[in-house]
Amino acid sequence: MNLNDAFPPVDEGFERGMNRAFEAIRKEKVMRHKMKFTLLAAALVILALAGTAVAAGFNVIEFFAQNDQRLERIATDSVVTTSAPANVESEALGASSIWFDSAYFDGEALIVGYVMENSERIEAFTPTDEQLAAMEKAENPIIPTAWDEAEASLFAEYYEAVEQGRPYGFITYSVYPSDHIRTDDGIDIGPYCGHETVTEDGRHLILREMETPLPEDIRSRDSLELHMTIWRQTTWYYYDGKAFYWRSEREQAGEAVTTVAHSSAEVCDFEGVGVYNGVPITASAHSSRLRVTLTMDAETDAFPNEPDLWYDCLMLDEQGRALQVDSIDVSPKRLTVSYYYGNETPERLSAYILALTEEEWEEWDEDKLMQSVEPIILNPCALR
């Protein structure tokens, strides 16, 4: 099987995060995507079916690692100690199941892989007058995603009806997880990005990378017990030839639970000092298998919050390779940046703090900027 063909397009948030290298920033700081509401849209949103890799012995993280160098580095550690599935019964779907089958945790990153079985069904629907009166008018056109050939066929009819201006409706019955995960003591962990696909036998495979930085209280734990709420939902959609309508009902239906041990992989700490805007800066960084997290602490206000001012921090390793920025948070006395890093633990880091207006971003010249900024050098100080 050709795995490049097996993977569907990743969601926009993941694509933007993974590809946010400085070359892309130089060309276009803000990206906007428009979708023309035509029959072509139906073809664009139909996801390719994955093969039977999971059935052949791969867990979810291992499966997606075959097409992702970052995940390949953690695949062998992507195991769960225990896993309790959520089994949900419904009149519309019958028996549905959702369970964690893999996870990775190293204090800096938390990635989970889970499987959904018999989790959705869609059928055509024409509302009665009473049902239509209970529905809400949708502000934007409804553009659904098809997961299999049956759904693709139904949605093709829907798009054709919209193109021709004639009524059409459908119902979706679904069982699905919350996008947040919580620990056994109630600490909430939100999502950041992920992959999703469907196997030939209809199982949904979902990989989710959780928010970073992780909550401080869980980073050093030996293991995490993770709970994921499962919902049962019915949603009605209808196009009356002119406007779109919808209505949704959902209820909590259970939870999936798993336990993942803290990875034994080393995390390296870095530290350094420097000056920015005339203010002394203390820098620290943590490097794990997947990312580097940088914190710049200033003695006084060094990072003013001014209109139309964009902060960023170019980070290079000892070989001059730029780390890909994942997220950035700025306050007057602190700059925190998270980076993706697909190589071995760096030996040294050089941080170049940048603050530019939107016009200056458009005229980006990396060499010129690096010559005008004094880097803050971070050297390793400890392994944990």
Q: Tens digit of pLDDT per residue, the chain (384 long)?
A: 333 333 333 344 333 333 333 333 333 323 222 222 333 333 333 333 344 444 456 899 999 998 888 888 888 888 888 899 999 999 999 999 999 999 999 888 899 999 999 999 999 999 999 999 999 999 888 887 787 788 889 999 999 999 999 999 999 999 999 999 999 999 999 998 888 988 888 899 999 999 877 898 998 899 999 999 999 999 999 999 999 999 999 999 999 999 999 988 777 889 999 999 999 999 999 888 888 889 999 999 999 888 778 888 999 999 988 898 888 889 999 999 988 876 677 889 999 998 888 777 667 676 777 777 889 999 998 665
User: Which residues are paired to 294 by β-bridges?
Assistant: 285, 337
pLDDT of residue 344: 74
Amino acid code (one letter) for 225: E
| Strand 291-298 versus strand 181-183 pairing type | unpaired
pLDDT of residue 56: 54
pTM for the model:
0.72
Q: Residue 224: which of 83, 59, 105, 102 has the closest Cα?
A: 105
User: Other C-beta atoms within 10 Å of 109: how many?
Assistant: 23
pLDDT of residue 1: 34
Kindly state the helix (H) or strand (E) to which residue 6 belongs, with its residue range: helix 3-6
| Strand 376-383 versus strand 349-357 pairing type | antiparallel
